[in-house]
Amino acid sequence: MTSDRRCFGPGLLALVALCTLSPAVSAADMDAAVRDTSIAAIEQALAEHRYRVADLAAYYIARIGALNQNGPALRALLEINPDWQSLARGLDNELGDGDPTTRGMLFGVPVVLKDNIDTADRMRTTAGSLALLDSSPSRDAFIVRRLRAAGALILGKANMSEWAGMRDFNQTAGWTGRGGQTRNPYDPARSPGGSSSGSAVAVAADMSAVAIGTDTAGSIIGPASLNGLVGIRPTVGLVSRSGIIPIAESQDTAGPMTRTVADAATLLTILAGYDPDDPATARLKDRPPPDYRLALKTDSLKGARIGVLRDYVHPGVDEVFERALATLRAQGAVLVDPIAFPSAGKYEDDDETVEEYEFKEDIRRYLATRRGPGPRDLAGLIAFDTEHAADEMPYFGQDVFTASEQRGPLTDQAYRDAHQRVRRLTGPEGIDAALEKDHLDALIVSSAGPAPLIDYIAGGRPRGRRDSGVGFTRPPAAAGYPIVSVPMGSVHGLPVGLSWVGTAWSEFQLIGFAYAFEQAAHARRPPGQGVVQ
């Protein structure tokens, strides 16, 4: 087969970007103004006309040219929006001498999308797989329409773990047949985490202002932690999944990946909302979600009762975790330490059963919406990978695909029983029971350990498990509950995060807690200059 995997020439992009800067703005000026910036800072700079949207986009395009396939070859981006210049000029023309705040909460802000989020433009949406190169989505995903309406500039598509980690039990995080291996900007020999690998690296390495990831069981939280970012996995039903390549309908969601809690709150406010094409969002029709920016208060932790899930703290982060607990106490939180998770060891097999059943049906329905040739069901994807094994399976196979294909319809009693048990054990008899027992407002645990070395033999995870060891991402995911991860420090120069877990629809409270901790701890450190200068 033939395919253009690179999708863009990084040297050419860097040249185009530098030539696009307005005469009044130098590359050095842009670097000083934009490096590690925030949505609020972009808004202010545009309002004061210190640079244009086109200058901002060109800055990120130059960074991509220097870092994505050149330099440390982070491979975070699969492709750049070929219309980025015209879109940026259009936003500049719309702004004129006006105020960007009147034109949308994300006016002019470059956003990178994970490559499983549909865009009906000249970019592809492939979940990192060569199997979808020849077909295309019929329309933008619901969340993409909301981003565009808020004034965002969709800058490009991010690399990921192929099929969001659903192809093989021993899959390597951050690798796709289409884009190769995404690398961690703190140490390119180490894993970026999965499956929202490229989304995380793009923001951490300053190749985008913010990014959108998706999460089925840790795919936002893990990469956010390993790349020193804030990540939010929302309650299932808060953010529409229509137009997103699925894994499991009962667990899938999309969410923000940003440098700060404030940016994540802004993005979530835009993403959340009722979509008639996603029944899970039905409750939002009459009860719209709040403006999550209102949760950003530094005294949110005062008097909050927080349960410490010590049994799930990752190896190697103990010292950093203890410092985080001390910060929480200093901010007035009441820690109940430790607490037990009542359903530990009772739900895991059912969880994987549910994913395998749902993926087979969900991917069939999704593929039917695409235009053009290509596989139309899971059996077709398996056949494609087998035929193109040299490109698609040089390091790992498709055991999860095969296991899912062997599952029956969603009417099977085995599926119905597993789904009911896993929801009950992780939700009412799991997280809710733990919160209620000690009258807790939230649970905390480390988000992930330090980034492991990229390993094409072991795949970076225990064989036979689709998570990364002892973390606590799967119970909230299986329950459909939210998690917020925020940087809590570093171990040997590698970032690690602190996760906040609550019951369904508790994002506002969790964001408040995460913000208060962030503002007190100041724990995030950008990647070292030697890697991503």
Q: What's residue 12's pLDDT? A: 46
Helices (H), 68-178: 84-95, 142-149
417-422: which pairs have CB atoms within 8 A and are 24 or more residues apart?
418/350, 418/353, 418/354, 418/357, 419/250, 419/350, 419/354, 419/357, 421/347, 421/350, 422/347, 422/350, 422/351, 422/354, 422/478
Supply the pTM of this predicted model. Answer: 0.95
Angle, helices 39-47/53-67, rounded to nearest 10 degrees: 140
Look up residue 528 and give its two tokens: 């070292």
Residue range 279-301, pLDDT digits in tens = 999 999 999 999 999 999 999 99
Q: Are 495 and 185 in contact (CB under 8 A)?
A: no
Q: What's residue 27's pLDDT? A: 84
List the chain residues with pLDDT less than 70: 1-24, 460-470, 529-533
**Annotated catalytic sites, by residue?**
114, 195, 219
Full set of structural domains in the chain with CATH: 15-532 (3.90.1300.10)
What single DSSP character describes residue 430? I
3-state DSSP percent of the chain in helix, strand and coil, to 5: 40, 15, 45
Q: Are 79 and 8 in contact (CB under 8 A)?
A: yes
Tokens 């406010």 -> residue: 269
Q: Which residues pair with 336 in a beta bridge?
A: 307
Residue range 37-96, pLDDT digits in tens = 999 999 999 999 999 999 999 999 999 999 999 999 999 999 999 999 999 999 999 999
Q: Which residues pair with 257 in a beta bridge?
A: 211, 231
Helices (H), 412-506: 413-426, 432-437, 474-479
pLDDT above 70 coverage of the chain, percent? 92
Residue range 509-526, pLDDT digits in tens = 999 999 999 999 999 999
C-alpha closest to that of 210 among 402, 32, 56, 420 = 56
Give DSSP secondary structure letters for 219-238: TTHHHHHHTT-EEEEPPBTT
Q: How far apart are CA 156 and CA 389, in angstroms?
A: 27
Q: Return the number of other C-beta atoms located less than 10 Å from residue 379's C-beta.
A: 13
Q: What's residue 528's pLDDT? A: 79
Residue range 350-371, pLDDT digits in tens = 999 999 999 999 999 999 999 9
Look up residue 7 and give its two tokens: 């999708």
Q: Are 189 and 454 in contact (CB under 8 A)?
A: yes
Q: What's residue 26's pLDDT? A: 82
Task: Tell me, rounded to whole angstroms, the distance of Cα 461 from its chain centroid.
Answer: 19
* Angle of CA points 60, 533, 316, to nearest 5°: 105
Residue range 322-339, pLDDT digits in tens = 999 999 999 999 999 999
Q: What's residue 8's pLDDT? A: 52
Tokens 């596989």 -> residue: 375
Q: Which residues pair with 366 in a beta bridge?
A: none
